[in-house]
Amino acid sequence: MGADDTIVAVSTPIGEGGIGIVRLSGKTSLKIADKIFLSKDGKRPSKFKTYTVHYGHIVEKSKVKRQKAKVIDEVILTVMRSPRSYTKEDVVEINCHSGIAPLKKILDLCLINGARLAEPGEFTKRAFLNGRIDVLQAEAVLDIIKAKTDLSLRLALNNLEGLFSKKINEIREKLIQIFAYMEASIDFSEEDLRGLKRDNIFKTLAGVKHEIEKLISGSSQGRILRQGIKAVICGSPNVGKSSLMNAILKESRSIVTHIPGTTRDTIEEVVNIKGIAVTLVDTAGITDTDHLVEKEGIRRSHVYLKNADLILLVLDWSRELNKDDLDIIKQIKDNKKETIVVINKTDLKKKLNVNKIKRFFAKNPFVHISALNMKGVDSLENRIRDMVWKGKAPGPGFISVSNERQLDILKRSSLDIDEAIKAARAKLSMDCISVYVKASIESLGEITGYTITEKALDKIFSEFCIGK
Ligand SMILES: Nc1nc2c(ncn2[C@@H]2O[C@H](COP(=O)(O)OP(=O)(O)OP(=O)(O)O)[C@@H](O)[C@H]2O)c(=O)[nH]1
Ligand SMILES: [Mg+2]
């Protein structure tokens, strides 16, 4: 499969930093390194052993004979020889100082000496084309880069280790076995195939269908882990929405005052709540105004309410429900979103009729807090976690679909299995059933990249950054 050319890219973010890395991969990586690297002991990179690290300088040789080469940067160079490298090709990594000038100059020197600028994700693509990882694992690399919490990182690592690929391959293998049986039964009479009955086909198809459906339904958990959720804090003026936002963030992000209508614009922050990346939105409490800025704030609050995954409705324990509260409760009921009722200011004397609110929110969880004293915030976080996972929190070996591509293929595969089951029920001939089984086998192969088109591959890797 091996590509003929050698690719190069800056693999760290461009900017000022301690270390920047220029990575080369391909047949001439070591030869290019020979031309631009001067080691302390005078040895050439093409003589270095694999997995060794060397101190030296990147130099630009002068075109004028006998003139000394110009030092570009002081670097550490690592050699990883084929096939034990990220791409399975000869890889050279140059650790230089991270600054635009040294990185660009070293990159230029590699290009002048015969390397080609890598396309986005091309290093990982080569790892796939050279058979080190499958497509699911390549996509997991992207998920690791984008992981926002420990849990989403765990999920991506499980995929990279191949747990998800193993599951898909097991399902695919079961289908291949019955497909082989079906093909054989086209040529032989069923009596000849002792022990293998039509019933087996039913059973296997139903089992496979169940496993695929389980993966499809688990995809929402995977999506939550990767993308997180949006939780919108709403409630009437002065109930303590901004105070709650600050209590969860553990910093004074939103402005808090005793004046109702303090928050005019929506404020958004991402916070890690029990392993879930939650985008917390503090909204304006006012519901009715002629003021232009406040009007825009209200409009934005409505939009957020519509797009929320979870609503935290804040009510004030120290006063009776008022018209503003009832307006907001009505809006929330109309929106039919998952809602937690947060009763704030419980450090003050009770005036709120909680039973009255329970009539509106009979099935919703209630949490009592005092945002001012940071009381009850942890129980609220536990409630948020319970609501998100609905009692099915992902365990350590959790595997899940990690993007729309994988989900679409699983759905397609599931539909083919449905058709196969229908055909089997209708007692259609084996070759009729096997058409659908074959389609499903091919779809599952697309997930791992066993059968995948060039176009699909390009699309997957185009989402990577250059240098990965
Ligand atoms: N006693 C007590 N006061 C609180 C509590 N939480 C907030 N407050 C006070 O209530 C007032 C309003 O708090 P904010 O957090 O600004 O309320 P808000 O809902 O964001 O108000 P708007 O942005 O105006 O809609 C401030 O004076 C807070 O100090 C609490 O738990 N106990
Ligand atoms: Mg506020």
The answer, yes or no, to whether residue 3 has pLDDT greater than 80, is no
Cβ neighbour number for residue 375 with a 10 Å cutoff: 15
d(CA 193, CA 222): 42
Report the Cα–Cα distance between both ends of the chain, in Å, rounded.
Answer: 20
- Lowest-confidence pick of 267-271, 303-307, 389-393, 427-431: 389-393
| pLDDT at res. 106 | 97
CATH 3.30.1360.120 domain residues, the chain: 7-118
If you average pLDDT over residues 199-222, what whole number do you get? 90
CATH 1.20.120.430 domain residues, the chain: 141-218+400-451
CATH 3.40.50.300 domain residues, the chain: 226-389
The answer, yes or no, to whether residue 379 has pLDDT greater than 70, is yes
Q: Tell the residue nearest (CA) to atom 16 of ligand 1.
A: 256
| pLDDT at res. 124 | 95
Ligand 1 site residues, Cβ closer than 6 angstroms: 235, 237-243, 256-258, 260-263, 285, 344-345, 347-348, 370-372
The ligand 1 atom at the shortest distance from the C-alpha of residue 246 is 15
| pLDDT at res. 189 | 62
pLDDT digits (tens, 9 = 90+) for 394-429: 888 888 998 999 999 999 999 999 999 999 888 888
Could you give the strand order of the β-sheet that contains 70-80, starting from the edge strand earlier in sequence? 37-39, 52-60, 70-80, 91-98, 17-25, 7-10, 116-117
The answer, yes or no, to whether residue 19 has pLDDT greater than 90, is yes
| pLDDT at res. 188 | 64
Is residue 77 within 8 Å of residue 16, measured between CB atoms? Answer: no
| pLDDT at res. 28 | 97
Q: What is the mean pLDDT of the chain?
A: 90
Cβ neighbour number for residue 159 with a 10 Å cutoff: 26
Q: Tell the residue nearest (CA) to atom 10 of ligand 1.
A: 240
Could you tell me which residue, 341 or 283, shows the higher pLDDT? 341
pLDDT digits (tens, 9 = 90+) for 158-186: 999 999 999 999 999 999 998 988 887 76
Cβ neighbour number for residue 231 with a 10 Å cutoff: 24
| pLDDT at res. 417 | 96
Backbone angles phi, psi at 109, to 5 degrees: -60, -40
Whether residue 83 has a cis bond before it, omega within 30° of 0: yes
Q: Which residues pair with 231 in a beta bridge?
A: 280, 310
- 259 pLDDT tier (thresholds 50, 70, 90): confident
- Lowest-confidence pick of 133-147, 224-238, 382-396: 382-396
Ligand showing the shortest atom-to-Cα distance for residue 236: 1
* Cα-to-centroid distance, 345 and ligand 1 (Å): 8
Q: Ligand 1 pocket test: which of 233, 236, 238, 287 has the largest number of ligand atoms within 8 Å of its C-beta? A: 238
The answer, yes or no, to whether residue 281 has pLDDT greater than 80, is yes
Helix (H) or strand (E) holding 109: helix 100-112
If you average pLDDT over residues 319-338, what whole number do you get? 90
Which CATH architecture best describes the domain 141-218+400-451?
Up-down Bundle (1.20)
d(CA 333, CA 246): 26
If you average pLDDT over residues 213-241, what whole number do you get? 91
The answer, yes or no, to whether residue 261 has pLDDT greater than 90, is no
Cα–Cα nearest to 266, from 302, 317, 292: 302
* Cα-to-centroid distance, 373 and ligand 1 (Å): 11
Place of tokens 């614009």: 265
Ligand showing the shortest atom-to-Cα distance for residue 257: 1
If you average pLDDT over residues 44-66, what whole number do you get? 93
Mark 265-301 as b/e (b = at least 16 C-beta within 10 Å). Answer: ebbebebebbbbbbbbbbbbbbbeeeeeebeebbebb
The answer, yes or no, to whether residue 71 has pLDDT greater than 70, is yes
In the CATH hierarchy, which top-level class contains the domain 7-118?
Answer: alpha beta
Q: Crossing angle, helix 135-146 and helix 430-448, to 10 degrees?
A: 40
Entry pTM: 0.78
- 192 pLDDT tier (thresholds 50, 70, 90): low
pLDDT digits (tens, 9 = 90+) for 87-106: 999 999 999 999 999 999 99
Cα–Cα nearest to 386, from 413, 416, 364, 354: 364
- Could you please state the CATH topology (level 3) that the domain comprising 226-389 is classified under: Rossmann fold (3.40.50)
- 309 pLDDT tier (thresholds 50, 70, 90): very high
Q: State how far the alpha carbon of 11 is from the alpha carbons of 40, 120, 394, in Å.
A: 25, 11, 32
| pLDDT at res. 1 | 45
